[in-house]
Structure 1
Amino acid sequence: MTNNPAAGSELPPPAQGITSDPPLDAPNEDTACSVNDREAGMAARREASIRFDRMLHLLERAHIPVVLVIAFLLASYTVRNSDFWMHLATGKKIAAGEYKFFGVGNDPFGYGTEFMRWVNHAWLFDLLVYAIWSVGNGTAVVVAKAMIVALLTAVLFLTCRPAREERIAPGTKANPVGWFAAIFVTLALIAAAPRMLLQPVVLSYLFLGLTIWIVSTQSASRSIWRLPVLVGGLFVVWVNCDGWFILGPLVLALFLVGEVLQRLAPGGSQTRDWSSVRNIGLACVVGTAACLINPDFHNAFQLPVELYSPEIPQEFRTDAHFRGTFMSPLDSAYTAHPRLGRTPAAIAYALLLVAGLAAFALNLTRLRWSQVLLAVGLALLSLRTWRAIPFFAVVAAPIIVRNLHDWFLRRSERTFEEAEPEAAGPISAIPHRQSAGVALTPARMVAFLGLTGRLLTLTLALVGGVLAYFGRLHTNPNYISHAQPATWTAEPDPSIERAVRQLQQWRESGKLPADARGLHLHPEIANYCAWFAPGEKSFLDYRIHFFKTRTSDYARARRELQRSLGGEVPEELARIFRKHGIGHIAITWTNDSELADWMMLTANMYLNNEDWTLWQTEGRVSMAGWNGVSRPPDLKVDFVRQAFGPQAARIPAPPKGRLIPSEDGSLQWPTLWENYINPIKPEPTEAITSTIYLMLNAEVGDSVRNRIRMEFVYAGAAAVAGLVCDGTLWSIVGRYYSNAFVESAIVNKAWMREDILAALPLLAVRAARQAMANQPDDPLPYVALSEASQYFRVGSSVQATQVIGVLRQGLARVAANEERKQGYERTTTESYLKLVNNYLNPQFGEGQSLDLAAECLREALKRFASAPPRRVPADQVPEHEKQLANQLKALEEQVRKNQDNFILGSKGKPLQLQVYIARQMGLTREALRVLSEHRLNLERPEEAFELIRLHLLLGQVEVAQNYLNQMRVEDLSPQHQGQLRLLQVETYVASGHLEKAGQELEKVIQLFQGQISRLPLSLEQVVFGQLAVGFVDPSMSPFTRDLMGMFWAMNFQGVTMQSWQAMASLCAQRGMIALEEGDNVTALRYLQKAVDIRVYFDGRQYAERYIELLKREAAK
């Protein structure tokens, strides 16, 4: 036998004693051991792979509770959507049996709806919400909503799971389906977060998720009725909870068409089993029929107004307020909106769209048509209106995960041959090998990345839970003030609540007739009326589909009011009012773009007495009556009564804020962590009210001053006519008004003539101080108080700390609240420019501060280009910026020269002289540095007093208070005690503690009163002394007699006159503090006491004017 037939010679026979090799297939001990080792290695690698996959599955399961917590927290924020109150009111009426379910005229909230039918899809939701509210108020309803979202999350996880026969066995293939489920379900939750409001639509998210899960798991059931019964029961509940129930039959129809295509389309399934088509088709019929089980029967089949509403005119759709209802994610307004297109939710939505396309691309040859139709249909729906994004997210997450699973399912199984040890799993999964190193193969790298990736996403999920708790997943990082931290309450807008309650009070008292109709120019007011003022009916509210025939008139009314801004009523607006019997309006604003028009509208309605009568303005709401009705109500806002009447509300002291001063005097949160987690409250409405009062003051003041100017013009013309015609009477009148023009400033004359010009600044100050009391860490109240204090006539009690120091307090809070900078950039620019003007043109007894002016101008220029002042036109911004830059250059040069001169001139001088030189040169920072470098010396308290004054001027109230706390009154002389208490008064006033300031000032008055003469020197005594000089020596010339009389009077008065002037000034200041606080009784007592001291003091004429107003209002 030859081993090789091709060989030309035979092999020699084996030698004697030498055996030949055994056959290849003959059993061999070494070969058997090798085979056993190989099989044992393969089994060990297979077992290691299974253990590794199970470990990965444990990590995937660990994601689930974390994602559930994220879902709960994403839905746990304060209820502020106004339609909640109407849902609550509807539920209350249903529970009380006061709700009409059938027929026309069933609307309890609108007027003129007797022949209209309200299809209330959400009646069951309303009843459930009211039942939960009755148990636990706002906390219970928010918790219930969060639990619904958490339940939806659990349903999504269940839907992501593949069918049992399609699951990948551990150790056979890579199976990251659980990992992908956690990722994409989280993305879906983030994408839906902005629409997780306490509204019926939240139930629609859950019901849509349940529908997809039920169809996915029960469509192939052998029982023909299981799927239809489950779907029918679900749809009966859905149709009575929300108008989006129409998605249920739509989803079933898409499933049905997809299953048919799956069997008929080329490349589709070759199965002949049509049972799933039968089940889904029957479920579609039963589910659609189940939707008829509702109080409105077939009338319930209405598309949501966001999807299809041809009856609603374009002018309503494009209205500034309603535009968001019809907005598409493709609109530029959406992408540019900081709360919509520039948020994590928008990013998550985009990622879901891209991931959906990628998932389908991986299975392009084996598409599941039901999934394609469902994903494409909901994607188009979401592109139609951004409000449908959550529906797409609910559908997209499980479809993406199922497609990724299908792709991994088609991959070849792992092999565990010796040549491919990497297929067995991670590096540590290869046993029975001892080697100096391990080769990094692609499979091992993939396994390693899979492990670290799951650990990373689990860590990110934990971080996401923290972010969700603090509301950072809802908003743009640059607009953290929009964040909605986890809170479980329902907070109505206080100003809107007060306004609608006032309407109800007027109607119950008969001041507002029962048949009076109002136009609420924002649905928020109508929604609040439903709960807080049940008797107040509305023209239009959030139920746009119900009021679709009125949307045209509503949009035109808003447009005409915005055009006229409260001036003469346009004919179109009057026509709408007459058509619907409207006699009054209530206006509010929801964004900054509407604020300026709203304030101007309020001011003009007050001034235009012929067409409008302003009833009330407070916070975010103004109400006015139209005088074109036959019998206008006798209602008119009385600002003078509000300011000087005995019923004025006392302003509380602000609580201690969480901001603390640092070493340099700036404000900071105690820790970076607290700065991050600090919940941001909405800006205080009282600060907006203060701005409204000032705008009214400016408008009314301009009107009054213009009338006075015209009087002067007419008086001058009369004087000329009198001279020409030699008319004695006209000449006298003309000279009188001409002299008045010369002797009195127009502004002061207007203030003394019009009561409202004295009332509005006082109301503005009180509103700003109320805002400080409500939110001491918010910058806006301080800015408003600084602005209002400039117009509040208080004479000597007007201090730099009331205008400059308080404004700097506001700017310090802007710097401390980094997240608020975006919202206050324009206000910050304006504030710095105001400080520049005050530092360069001192009005309150302080000298110039050139260095502080340069600092503020530098800060203003940093923001000028991006956030110019509101009064600077856009085309003039570069020119103004150039002018300010030149001014800053000159100012910095002057500061440098003064600093050089100060160094030369102050060397070797005493401390007080150095401070004086620095202040004279306008170097406030140098003065502060010189004082700060010396220790506080109680034997020379003047130095400490000056240091405290400088800190107050810089708005560093907390630092000034710390210095005051180090000084004891008992250790000081009586004179220094008074100065210390006055500084304490100034500090209390700057920090908003008006009651403490008044008490401290009363101690100063008592201390001062004991040091002066008990008998005041009256003006009659002074005049008598001057006349007595002439009687002693009648031969004196008039000039000499006047000089001697003045000399006698000055010697006779001496220190007494100055002391009584100071005493009167202190009493007046105490009265002004009480006036700011709202304590009008105390204010009248001390102002009267100041005036009774018959000496002149700064602000005496203002005190007399306030006394007149306080007495008049007290007598009413």
Structure 2
Amino acid sequence: MSDPVPLPAPPPPPKPTRRTPWGYWADAVLAFAVLAFAFLAGSFVARNSDVWLHLATGRLVAQGAYHFGTDPFAYTTADKYWANHAWLFDLGLYLVFKWFGGAGLVVLKALAVAGTAGAMWVTTRGRGAVWPTAGCLLLAVLACAPRLLLQPTIASLLLLAVCLYCLRAGGRALVAIPVLTAVWVNLDAWFILAPTLVVLFWLGRQISPQRATLPAWPSWLVPATFGACLLSPHHIFALRLPLELSPAVWSSEFVSDPRFAGVFVSPWHTSALGAAGGYNLAAWAFFVLLALGIFSFAVNRTAALSWRVTVWVPFALLAAWQARLIPFFAVVAGPITALNLREIISETSLPRLGRGFALIGSSVLLVLAWFGWTTSFSNRDRAPAWAVHTDPTLARAAEGVSAARQQSGFAPDRVLVTHPDVGHYLAWFAPGERYFLDSRLHLFTHVADDFAATSRAVGLLGEPAPGDAHQLDEFGAVLLYDPDGGRMTRALRATTGTDSTWALARVDGGAVLLARTVASSRRFDPEREAFNGSPAPLPVAGTGPATLAEPELAWWVVTRTVGRSGSWEADAATIYLRMFESGSSREPALPLLAVRTARAGAEVDPNDPIAWLALGRAYSTLGERTWERETGTGLTPLEHIRQVQIIATLVQSVLLNPDSVPARESLAGVLLRRNMLDSARTHAAEALRLVRRAGPGAGETPEAFTERVGRLNALVEQLEAGIQDGENRYLIRTTGLAGDPLARARIALELGLSQKAIDVLRTSHPDLYGGAGLGLLADLLLQSGQAAECRVLLDRAELRRNPDVLGIATLPRAADPNGYNWAYQLPTYDWLDLCQCAAVGRYTGATEAVDRICARLYAEEQSRAQPIAMSGAALFVLEIGMGAPPIPVHARLNRVRDRAQFTELLAQAKSLSVARADLTTLAGVLELERGATSAAVNRFKSAQTLYTQTKNMGLVAPGAPLASRYTEALNKYR
């Protein structure tokens, strides 16, 4: 018998790859980058208004005043059981807020996001390269970014990641899942994901080819997880679907209501992927993560027959259905995709290239997160900052409801709030006040039709249907608010008209309180608010904003913004303007109130572009659409200052928000009217680019959009043609004037090239153009809206020591009927100081400048008194001497000549008095627009006294009608 053939020896097992020190450090840096990116992605100011609803609930729980199952906030849920799964979250939120403030809440949220990323990272532990894990988890966190709000969902994301880790780890870690579920059911309605995940994981084990070799599955895990769902104060009532999955919500009127569009948005909107949506990187991340997951299953066939596919597919379907569910998909898809890829990418496969790519990508994402660009490059409120934002309008409106209830006596428990955000603020800032509804839509499906009908009745949702008006009969008051300006304007027009049954009781920022029955003394009266001499609840503008925005000269300079803080004053200014536009009155009260509150808003938040835009619109409305325009015709100083104010405020708005189309269009129009073609072209071209990028607006037809783009394009082409013609003529006319920058600047200005004129003076030495050039440069800076640069120029030490070096500014004035054609001759430095202070709202400096100019004019008038007296005495002697006949012919001629000379000297002196009166009227207007009505009355009275003294001379007094009209209005309400 032959010897058996020996079997070949099995190949030796592969030697484990030893990572180099550089590899260890690179992997550690990648892990840190993922956690840092997650922390930064969650570190932004909490602006979701439902934070206040959760805090209010937590306050009730902490005070022992909370009753499980009962809604303490809305009056429409008396017969509804409120299964508040987030009661424990609310309590923790309130306690942290009480001890550490809003910053502590945001830090805690950011740590929870980082903890979620950490749990996802440890879930992927195993053999294989690390850099695919880093790439997948960075994509997952980026996809979650839009929904990383200070809400119970944050707790659900963390617990979902931990549950997934425990299921993959198996063994003793499975014991933690029922415990996590018991905690989860008291934190958020999405606790149903825990048993769902367990069941999906179990199904995946059943289809796995290696199921016989897998560790035994505990028989108690599934029933224990489902049983833990009952460990809540709500017991069986806790078993309810979340709002996003509620059939009752999806079949209600809420689906078609634009105010709740964010709840039902689909991820398949391509607008977020392009320029119109600001290139939303988070939206791109979802689609990349989805595609990468499909690819990972395609290349790793064994993963397609495991728990990974049974978990991945249902979550992918949910995310593909509704954008709000993308974070749940990302939390499970990130680790699963990483596991699939790591199993086919060994540590030796492209180690340097893969790590390098991951390190570069993570660095880019960290930079984007630092500037808040993870959701959009135009987003201005996502940069890292730790705070809870209090909307000043909603906080004031909530507090105003309680105050109005005590004064007006409207029916209790029947205040209709037209936006859920108002309800959230009422819950916290007006404890005990009940409202119609808030964002908990599953509690209000039974009144969704009524809410839509009442919204139509007040003009928020299009034309009302028959019978909608009767829906308002049960309400004693309506708190009208909507963040959409178009809807708010329509509602104001519908509810504040002359035939409306509602009385306007209060304007609280951007919210308006309407009541059926309110005492006449309590009704909102714009004339009384604008002209009342007693202290009013509206603020008085003070010393102007602390800072002014200035243009960045270097293109690479990028600034971080944490979003608008805002003020209720600025929001109120927009309401006053909408109320004025909704009516047909030419009274200046509402525009004056808009100017006053917008000025106060710019002082509260100098970086608020809305305040500056509202201010510019208010000045434009006041100067063009009220009786101030006709009454003040010929008052050149006021007309000049109004233009400077409009341009300066619009420029500030554009500097703070370069993507503001209304500000760009308004600024282009104002500059064009002043023949500043090159400056106008810049803003018109930018407005055209922004309009094309944004596409048609809400409700705008393609034809209307095409027409709007065509108008802007025609304006840009017109301006470019004018500029090109001006440039050609400038080259011809400035030949040989290289050493005379002042002449070149004046030629450029004459040709509409205002910015070229500024550049010519700025790039030349002041010795070449002297005081006249400095005065022209300062004036051009003002007229182009560069108020901060003008202030720097005027604050030069040499100009302060010798202001007269700038010379005299000449402003035209209307001709007198008797042929006198005087002009305002004002000291240039003081006049520019007045314009600059008036433009930026430094009213104290403006009135001081007026007083200095008036003192100079009075001194000049006094200096002319002696020649006038001597001429009058000589004429008197001549008249007496010539009284006896015969009178020689030459004597008669001398007397006529002397009379004319005396009359002209007297008229010149009195014209100085008229100029002083006009400037005093101007000071009164400035005092009135800031809200200092008593000071305005004194100024107007002083002006009228001066006008009376010069009335018998027959001189034109441009400011007299305006002073008289404003004095009449002020006296009426004092």
> Normalising to structure 1: TM-score of the pair?
0.73
Query: For 2:523, what is the secondary structure of its paired residue?
Result: coil
Does residue 983 in structure 1 map to residue 832 in structure 2? yes
* Structure 2 residue corresponding to 1:211, chosen from 151, 154, 163: 163
Q: Distance in 2 between matches of 1:286 and 1:85?
A: 35
Q: Which residue of 2 aligns with 1:269?
A: 211
For 1:64-75, what aligned pairs fall within 5 Å after superposition?
64-75=31-42
Q: Which amino acid aligns with 1:589?
A: D
Cα distance, 1:387–1:928 mapped onto 2, change above 3 Å: closer
Query: What amino acid is aligned across from residue 90 of structure 2 in structure 1?
Result: D
2:397 to 499, 508, 511: 499
Q: Secondary structure at the match of 2:68?
A: coil
Displacement of 1:54 in angstroms is 6.7
**Equivalent position amino acid for 1:257 in 2:** L
Q: Which moved more, 1:123-132 or 1:321-330?
A: 321-330
- Cα offset, 1:99, TM superposition: 0.9
What code does the residue aligned with 1:988 have? C
Q: 2:936 aligns with which of 1064, 1083, 1107?
A: 1083
| Pick aligned residue for 2:564 from 681, 686, 692 | 681
Match 1:577 to one of 439, 460, 472: 472
Determine whether 1:1008 maps to 2:849.
no
CA distance in 2, matches of 1:659, 1:268: 66
Q: Which residue of 1 aligns with 2:135?
A: 183
The superposition leaves residues 1038-1076 of structure 1 with CA deviations (integer Å, 9 ceiling, x where unpaired) of xx9xx9999599347333211111111221222222222
| Matched residue, 1:530 | 427
Pick aligned residue for 1:296 from 203, 210, 234: 234
Deviations 1:11-60 (A, max 9, x none): xxxxxxxxxxxxxxxxxxxxxxxxxxxxxxx99x998x744367534432
Measured against aligned partners, the alpha-carbon deviations of 1:306-339 in whole angstroms (never above 9, x if no partner) come to 1132355453202112122122223567767966
Range moving further from structure 2, 372-381 or 355-364: 355-364
C-alpha contact (below 8 Å) 1:829/1:864 kept by paired residues: no
The 8 Å contact of residues 311 and 549 in structure 1, kept in 2 or not, is answered as: no
Tell me how far apart the structure 2 counterparts of residues 1070 and 69 of structure 1 sit (CA, whole Å).
56
Larger deviation, residues 487-496 vs 678-687 = 678-687
Q: Is the 8 A contact 1:981 1:1000 kept in 2?
A: yes
Q: Which amino acid aligns with 2:168?
A: S
Match of 2:820 in 1: none
Q: Distance in 1 between matches of 2:648 and 2:861?
A: 38
Q: Does 1:803 align with 2:744?
A: no
**Structure 2 residue aligned with 1:944:** 774
Q: 1:555 aligns with which of 426, 430, 452?
A: 452
What is the CA–CA distance in structure 1 between the aligned matches of 2:323 and 2:755, rounded to whole Å? 54
Distance across 1 between alignment mates of 2:148 and 2:687: 40
| Aligned counterparts, 1:721-870, within 5 A | 751=586, 757-776=587-606, 779-790=609-620, 791-792=622-623, 793=628, 795-800=635-640, 802-803=642-643, 806-807=646-647, 810-811=650-651, 814=654, 820-821=657-658, 823-825=659-661, 827-836=663-672, 838-840=673-675
- Is the alpha carbon distance of 1:257 and 1:600 closer, same or farther for their aligned partners in structure 2, counting shifts above 3 Å? same
Deviations 1:411-445 (A, max 9, x none): xxxxxxxxxxxxxx9xxxxxxxxxxxxxxxxxxxx
The separation in 2 between residues aligned to 1:866 and 1:635, in whole angstroms, is: 47
Find the aligned partners of 2:362 and 2:687 in 1 and give their Cα distance. Answer: 41
Deviations 1:105-150 (A, max 9, x none): x211011433222111111111111111110110111111112122
Residues 207 and 306, structure 2, Cα contact 8 Å, conserved in 1: yes
Write out per-residue CA displacement over residues 927-984 of structure 1, whole angstroms, 9 at most, x where no aligned residue: 6577557644699634432332222212222332333233435435598694311211
Give ranges in structure 2 of 5+ residues lacking alignment: 1-10, 809-825, 867-877, 884-892, 951-955
914 and 145 in structure 1: CA distance in 2 versus 1, 3 angstrom threshold: closer
Question: Offset at 1:299?
Answer: 1.1
Whole-Å separation in 1 of the counterparts to 2:454 and 2:663: 31
Question: What are the superposed Cα offsets for residues 66-125 of structure 1, whole Å, 9 maximum, x if unpaired?
Answer: 2222211211111110111010001101111111125xxx21101143322211111111
Partner of 1:432 in structure 2?
none
Larger mean Cα displacement after TM superposition, 649-658 or 947-956 = 649-658
Q: Secondary structure at the match of 1:1057?
A: helix
Summarize deviations over 1:588-623 as a string: whole Å, max 9, x none.
Answer: 333xxx312312322442223432222333543223
**Alpha-carbon distance in structure 2 between the residues aligned to 1:142 and 1:564:** 35
| Distance across 2 between alignment mates of 1:61 and 1:476 | 29
Are 2:458 and 2:494, in contact at CA under 8 Å, matched by a contact in 1?
Answer: no
The 2-side partners of 1:862 and 1:796 are apart by 36
Deviation of 1:257 after TM superposition, in Å, equals: 2.3
Residue 284 in structure 1 maps to residue 222 in structure 2: yes
Alpha-carbon distance between aligned partners in 2 of 1:385 and 1:865, rounded to the nearest angstrom = 28
- CA–CA distance in structure 2, aligned partners of residues 58 and 910 of structure 1: 65
Task: Tell me, yes or no, if the aligned pair for 1:654 and 1:775 is still in contact at 8 Å.
Answer: no
**2:831 corresponds to 1:999:** no
* Partner residue, 1:453: 354
Cα distance in 2, alignment partners of residues 527 and 766 from structure 1? 29
Structure 1 Cα separation of the partners of residues 367 and 202 of structure 2: 42
- Offset, 1:251: 1.2
In structure 1, C-alpha distance between the alignment counterparts of 2:848 and 2:323, rounded to whole Å: 58
**Which amino acid is 2:668 matched to?**
Y
- Looking at structure 1, the residues matched to 650 and 162 of structure 2 have their Cα atoms a distance apart, in angstroms, of 51
Return the offset for 1:875. 4.9
Q: Is the 8 A contact 1:313 1:551 kept in 2?
A: no
Q: Is the 8 A contact 2:671 2:677 kept in 1?
A: no
- In structure 1, C-alpha distance between the alignment counterparts of 2:323 and 2:424, rounded to whole Å: 23
Match of 1:389 among 326, 329, 333: 326
* Aligned AA (1:392): F
How many Å separate the matches in 2 of 1:148 and 1:910?
66
Q: 1:62 to 1:898 in 2, by over 3 A?
A: closer
2:578 is equivalent to residue 695 of structure 1 = yes
- Residue in 2 aligned with 1:36? none
TM-score in terms of structure 2 length? 0.83
Displacement after TM superposition at 1:564 (Å): 7.8
Aligned 8 A contact 1:159 1:213 in 2: yes
Question: Residue 745 of structure 1 aligns with which residue?
Answer: none
Q: 1:572 is paired with a residue of what secondary structure? A: coil
Q: Write out aligned runs for 1:655-674 (5 A).
A: 655=545, 657=547, 659-660=549-550, 667-668=551-552, 672-673=556-557
Q: What are the within-5 Å matches in structure 2 for residues 123-142 of structure 1?
A: 123-142=87-106
Distance 1:1052 1:899 in 2: 42
Distance 1:322 1:78 in 2: 22
Q: 1:520 aligns with which of 417, 420, 436?
A: 417
Determine the structure 1 residue equivalent to 2:927: 1074
Residue matched to 1:541: 438
1:285-308 CA distances to partner (integer Å, 9 max, x unpaired)?
112112112122111111112113
Aligned residue pairs, count: 900
- In structure 2, the CA distance between the partners of 1:75 and 1:112, relative to structure 1 (3 Å rule), is same
Contact 1:764 1:785 in 2 (8 A): yes
Task: Tell me if 1:641 matches 2:528.
Answer: yes
- SS of 1:607 mapped into structure 2: coil
Given that residues 83 and 234 in structure 2 are in contact (C-alpha distance below 8 angstroms), is that contact kept between their aligned partners in structure 1?
yes
Distance in 2 of aligned mates of 1:804 and 1:547: 51
What letter is aligned with 1:485? A
Distance 1:670 1:1006, change over 3 A: farther
Match of residue 196, structure 1, among 124, 143, 148: 148
The aligned residue for residue 612 of structure 1 is 502
Q: Is the 8 A contact 1:307 1:385 kept in 2?
A: no
* Structure 1: distance between partners of 2:763 and 2:205: 85
- 8 Å contact kept, 1:805–1:954: no
Quote the offset at 1:1007 in angstroms. 3.9
- Whichever of the two has the greater Rg, that structure is 1
Pair 305,1087 (structure 1): closer, same or farther in 2 beyond 3 Å: same
- Given the superposition, is the C-alpha separation of residues 261 and 988 from structure 1 closer, same or farther in structure 2, using an over 3 Å criterion? same
